[in-house]
Amino acid sequence: MPEAHPPSPTDVISAGAVALLLEYTGRGPTKARTTINHDSVVIVMDDTLTKGERALVEHGKVDDVLTARHEFQNVMREDLVELVENTLDRKVIAFMCDNHVDPDLAVKTFVLEPSPEAGS
């Protein structure tokens, strides 16, 4: 049997972010992809809205759904930043996020403190 490898940082961050969204909203996205660059981390999530949020969107309440999602992000901010910092052992100096309802996508962007190896 082949030796199991530990999950990659991208997998850890994607799974952790999905779990946090599930914890905070009662439903996680069906897909999450994390990209890590030298000074940033970007998570793109698909199919994030709850059944109730989708019903609101269908009845023209897009702004209300986006406002509620923004508030969820504010409440989740500390946990999401901690997830990235603990996984990468790097400090997050900025966190930004946004949602889109058609198609149903969310993006979370983390800017990392420059690493000592990067120089100035």
Per-residue pLDDT of the chain (120 residues; tens, 9 = 90+): 667 788 999 999 999 999 999 999 898 899 999 999 999 999 999 999 999 999 999 999 999 999 999 998 999 999 999 999 999 999 999 999 999 999 999 999 999 998 776 555
Helices (H), the chain: 9-25, 51-58, 62-88
The C-alpha atoms of residue 39 and residue 83 are separated, in whole angstroms, by 16
Give CATH for domain 9-115: 3.30.980
- Report the predicted TM-score, pTM, of the whole model to 2 decimal places: 0.89
